[in-house]
Amino acid sequence: MTRPGRDDAPDRLYTLTGGRSRPDTDAFDLVTLVVSECDPVPGMPSEQVKILGMCRAPTAVVEIAAELRLPVGITMVLLSDLLLAGKITVRHPKTGHTGPGAQQNSLFDTAMLEKVLVGLRNL
């Protein structure tokens, strides 16, 4: 089994990103959700066409990279180009916070996670 992007020719990845190794924005991390705001247009690189197609519903950066079989860093460069062109929007998933109403707004139910942890330890 090979890891995505590891066996790709470096020239291909260099061409995809125009020689850049980092995105032009820090808007992305592994769990950033990406949503396409338009349909692909003729002449777009095939990877960007695929991104716009798969991001009709919110999709995490790591999922996009896996689907494209590209390293996450290369995927973030492609996503930053789309973001700066206004073809996608991004948002971070809700995270738990403390304060009033935290239990309702928390992405993770800590009581349930503790029960799962105890159950796993009892195995």
pLDDT tens string 26-82: 888 899 999 999 999 898 889 999 999 999 999 999 999 999 999 999 999 999 999
The pTM (predicted TM-score) of the whole model is 0.68
Collapsing DSSP to helix, strand or coil, 35 comes out as strand
Rounded to whole angstroms, the Cα distance separating 31 from 61 reads 6
Collapsing DSSP to helix, strand or coil, 32 comes out as coil
Under 8 Å between Cβ of 30 and 62: yes
Under 8 Å between Cβ of 106 and 93: no
Rounded to whole angstroms, the Cα distance separating 114 from 118 reads 6
Tokens of residue 49, six digits: 């066409």
Domain residue spans of the chain: 1-95
